[in-house]
Structure 1
Amino acid sequence: MRKGWKQTAAAALAAVMAASLLGGCGQKSGTESEKVEKYTADGELVKPEKITVMTDGTVFTKRNGRDALEKRWEELTGIDLEFIQPDHSAYYDVVGQTFASGEKNWPDVILLSSTYYSGYAEEGALWDMTDTFENSDLKKSGRITGEDVIDGMRINGKLYGLPVNRGGGCITYVKKKWLDNCGLDVPTTYDEYLNMLKAFTEGDPDGNGVNGDTYALSAAGFMGEEAPYTNYLPEFYQDAYPSFTKDENGRWYDGFMEQNFKDALLRLRDAYVKGYIDKETLTNGTSDVRNKFYEDRSGVFTYWAGTWAENLRSNLAKNGLDDELIPLPLIKELGNYTERTPAVWCITNSCKYPEAVYKYFIESMMDGGDMQTLWTYGVEGVHWSTKAETVCGNTYEEGQFHGLESLDKPGTQYTKGLMDPTLSIVKWDSDPGIDSVAPAAKTSQEIFNENCKQALMVPSTTEMATYNGDLTTLKRSIVADVVVQGMSIDEAYQRFEKEHGVKWSNMIVDSLNHLAATEQ
Structure 2
Amino acid sequence: MSKKAKAVSSLVAVMLLGSALAGCTSGNSASGTDSKSDGKKEDRTLRMMASVIGGKSPEENTMFEKEIERLTGIKAKLDKPASDYNQKLMAAVSSGEKFDLLQVSKETMNQLIDQGVLTPLTDKVKASKVLQDPEVLPAAEWDQVKTKDGKIYGVFTKYQGGTMPIIRNDWLKKLNLPEPKTLDDYYKVLKAFTEQDPDGNNKKDTYGLSTAGMYELQGIFSAAGLKQRYVEKDGKLDVPYSTDAAIPVYQWLNKLYKEGILDPNFATNDTGKMRNLFLADRVGMITYWDAWVGMLNNTRKEQDPKTAFEAKGLPGIAGPGGKNMLRRGDPDVWVIPVNAEHPKTAFEFIEWWHSKDGIILGSLGIKDNDYTENGGKYELTKAGKEHAMDHGVPFWYNKKVPNPFGLLQGVKEAQDLLAKYSSLELTPPRWADAEKIINEYSFKAILGEMPAADAVKKMRETLKANKLID
Q: Which range, TM-score by smaller chain? A: 0.7 to 0.9
- Counterpart among 71, 75, 98 of residue 70 in structure 2: 75
Is residue 2:397 matched to residue 1:425?
yes
Q: Secondary structure at the match of 1:487?
A: coil
Change (3 A) 1:10 1:202: closer
Q: Compare 136-145 and 16-25 and name the one that shifted more.
A: 16-25
**Equivalent pair of 1:340/1:454 in contact (CA under 8 Å):** yes
C-alpha offsets along residues 30-75 of structure 1, whole Å, 9 cap, x if unaligned? 69xx9667289xxxxx764322222235322663423333233223
Change (3 A) 1:147 1:297: same
* Residue in 2 that maps onto 1:402: 379
Map 1:75-474 → 2, pairs under 5 A:
75-83=70-78, 85=79, 87-102=81-96, 105-156=97-148, 157-201=150-194, 203=196, 205=198, 213=204, 217-224=208-215, 229-230=216-217, 234=220, 239-241=225-227, 243=229, 245-312=230-297, 314-315=299-300, 318=303, 322-333=308-319, 335-351=324-340, 354-358=343-347, 360-367=348-355, 369-386=356-373, 401-406=378-383, 413-421=386-394, 423-429=395-401, 431=402, 433-435=403-405, 437-460=407-430, 468=433, 472-474=435-437
Is residue 2:34 matched to residue 1:38?
yes
Q: Quote the Cα distance in structure 2 between the aligned partners of 1:240 and 1:453.
A: 12
Q: Compare 246-255 and 314-323 and name the one that shifted more.
A: 314-323
Change (3 A) 1:272 1:109: same
Which residue identity is paired with 1:12? A
Instruction: Tell me by how many angstroms 1:328 deviates.
Output: 2.0
Instruction: Tell me by how many angstroms 1:445 deviates.
Output: 3.8
C-alpha offsets along residues 172-214 of structure 1, whole Å, 9 cap, x if unaligned? 2333343334433223333433343344445565567x7x947
Change (3 A) 1:439 1:386: farther
Which residue identity is paired with 2:133? S
Q: Quote the Cα distance in structure 2 between the aligned partners of 1:380 and 1:217.
A: 41
Q: Quote the Cα distance in structure 2 between the aligned partners of 1:356 and 1:295.
A: 44
**Equivalent pair of 2:211/2:287 in contact (CA under 8 Å):** no
C-alpha offsets along residues 414-456 of structure 1, whole Å, 9 cap, x if unaligned? 32243434x2122133x3x532643334443444344322222
Instruction: Tell me by how many angstroms 1:344 deviates.
Output: 1.1
* Residue in 1 that maps onto 2:58: 63
Q: How many residues align?
A: 459
Instruction: Tell me by how many angstroms 1:221 deviates.
Output: 4.4
**Equivalent pair of 2:364/2:390 in contact (CA under 8 Å):** yes
Change (3 A) 1:337 1:27: farther
**Equivalent pair of 1:109/1:348 in contact (CA under 8 Å):** yes
Q: Quote the Cα distance in structure 1 between the aligned partners of 2:14 and 2:123.
A: 25
* Stretches of structure 1 lacking an aligned partner (at least 5 in a row): 1-5, 41-45, 388-397, 511-520
Instruction: Tell me by how many angstroms 1:153 deviates.
Output: 1.8
C-alpha offsets along residues 16-43 of structure 1, whole Å, 9 cap, x if unaligned? 4445665665962369xx9667289xxx
Instruction: Tell me by how many angstroms 1:361 deviates.
Output: 0.6
**Equivalent pair of 1:402/1:436 in contact (CA under 8 Å):** no
Is residue 2:439 matched to residue 1:476?
yes
**Equivalent pair of 2:318/2:325 in contact (CA under 8 Å):** no
Q: Secondary structure at the match of 1:137?
A: coil
Q: Quote the Cα distance in structure 2 between the aligned partners of 1:318 and 1:383.
A: 18
* Stretches of structure 2 lacking an aligned partner (at least 5 in a row): none
**Equivalent pair of 2:299/2:386 in contact (CA under 8 Å):** no
**Equivalent pair of 1:338/1:455 in contact (CA under 8 Å):** yes
Which residue identity is paired with 1:361? F
Q: Quote the Cα distance in structure 2 between the aligned partners of 1:276 and 1:81.
A: 48
Which residue identity is paired with 1:28? C
Q: Quote the Cα distance in structure 2 between the aligned partners of 1:325 and 1:81.
A: 37
**Equivalent pair of 2:19/2:338 in contact (CA under 8 Å):** no
* Residue in 1 that maps onto 2:462: 501
* Residue in 2 that maps onto 1:29: 25
Normalising to structure 1: TM-score of the pair?
0.75
**Equivalent pair of 1:330/1:451 in contact (CA under 8 Å):** no
**Equivalent pair of 1:69/1:379 in contact (CA under 8 Å):** yes
Which residue identity is paired with 2:25? S
Which residue identity is paired with 2:226? A
Change (3 A) 1:177 1:161: closer
User: Following superposition, which runs of at least 4 residues in structure 1 exceed 6 angstroms of deviation?
Assistant: none
Q: Quote the Cα distance in structure 2 between the aligned partners of 1:282 and 1:35.
A: 47
Q: Secondary structure at the match of 2:132?
A: helix
Over aligned residues, Cα RMSD in angstroms?
3.8
**Equivalent pair of 1:217/1:276 in contact (CA under 8 Å):** yes
Instruction: Tell me by how many angstroms 1:145 deviates.
Output: 4.9
C-alpha offsets along residues 277-323 of structure 1, whole Å, 9 cap, x if unaligned? 33443344445444443454433333332244342464388578522
C-alpha offsets along residues 121-142 of structure 1, whole Å, 9 cap, x if unaligned? 2211110001211221123322
**Equivalent pair of 1:173/1:328 in contact (CA under 8 Å):** yes
C-alpha offsets along residues 327-375 of structure 1, whole Å, 9 cap, x if unaligned? 22343226232122122111111235534531x21111111x2232223
Change (3 A) 1:69 1:279: closer
Q: Quote the Cα distance in structure 2 between the aligned partners of 1:292 and 1:36.
A: 52
Percentage of pairs with the same residue: 21
Instruction: Tell me by how many angstroms 1:272 deviates.
Output: 3.1
Q: Quote the Cα distance in structure 2 between the aligned partners of 1:142 and 1:236.
A: 32
**Equivalent pair of 1:215/1:275 in contact (CA under 8 Å):** no
Q: Secondary structure at the match of 1:97?
A: helix
